[in-house]
Amino acid sequence: MQFTIAIDGPAAAGKGTISRAVAQDLGVAHLDTGLLYRAVGMKGGDPVAAARNLAPQDLEREDLRGLQAAEAASRVAVNPEVRAALVEFQRDFARRAGGAVLDGRDIGTVICPKAEVKLFVTASAETRAMRRWKETGEGSYDAVLEQVRIRDARDMGRADAPLRPADDAVVLDTTELSIEDAVAQARAVIQARLGR
């Protein structure tokens, strides 16, 4: 069976945690598409060339989860040529045999608009900043909150593939949810949509 589960949302809303759990439950491949942009941003130099020449080993860098990589990703993601260079990679991954889960910011709206399941995972900026601050241990909470707000504005305001829920996405607000509850709600939506 071939199916695509698209999970979008802003930074630190829980989409990665939910995506990994769902992919493991279903026994399917998972792609954190943000890693593609983080890897491109951290390679330095011409971002378009970096995107066109991205190799699987580039996604294994140890520094891709930090705040510097997140900032670098947000800066290169506004470049339409970078986005175009990475689209085919993502679409090929999404249609692999057995199914796939992809998480990012434009999976349900641009990369896989015909995905069988679309979730938009969100949470308040304050909650997401607290999660990111605890996760990375970098900087102060106030500095991380400011970064979250700047990144949200950049991601939602870009001309090419702005961050927004797909019209047919189920919105899951994790502000007040535990990880377990968020994953359980996502599983319920996915099971209903896939008819399992």
Instruction: For the chain, give every domain's residue range.
Output: 4-194
Is 15 annotated for ligand binding?
Answer: yes
Is 195 annotated for ligand binding?
Answer: no
Residue 160: predicted pLDDT = 80
- At residue 192's C-alpha, the angle toward residues 184 and 90, to 5°, is 80
Highest CATH level, class, for 4-194: alpha beta
Is 39 annotated for ligand binding?
Answer: no
Q: How far apart are CA 134 and CA 138, in angstroms?
A: 8
Is 157 annotated for ligand binding?
Answer: no
Model pLDDT for residues 112-157, shown as the tens digit of each residue:
999 999 999 999 999 999 999 998 888 899 999 999 999 899 889 9
Is 10 annotated for ligand binding?
Answer: yes
> Which phi and psi (to 5°) does residue 29 adopt?
-70, 150
Is 174 annotated for ligand binding?
Answer: no
Residue 116: predicted pLDDT = 97
Q: What percent of the chain has pLDDT over 90?
A: 78
Is 84 annotated for ligand binding?
Answer: no
Is 9 annotated for ligand binding?
Answer: yes
Model pLDDT for residues 4-57, shown as the tens digit of each residue:
999 999 989 999 999 999 999 999 999 999 899 999 999 999 999 999 999 888
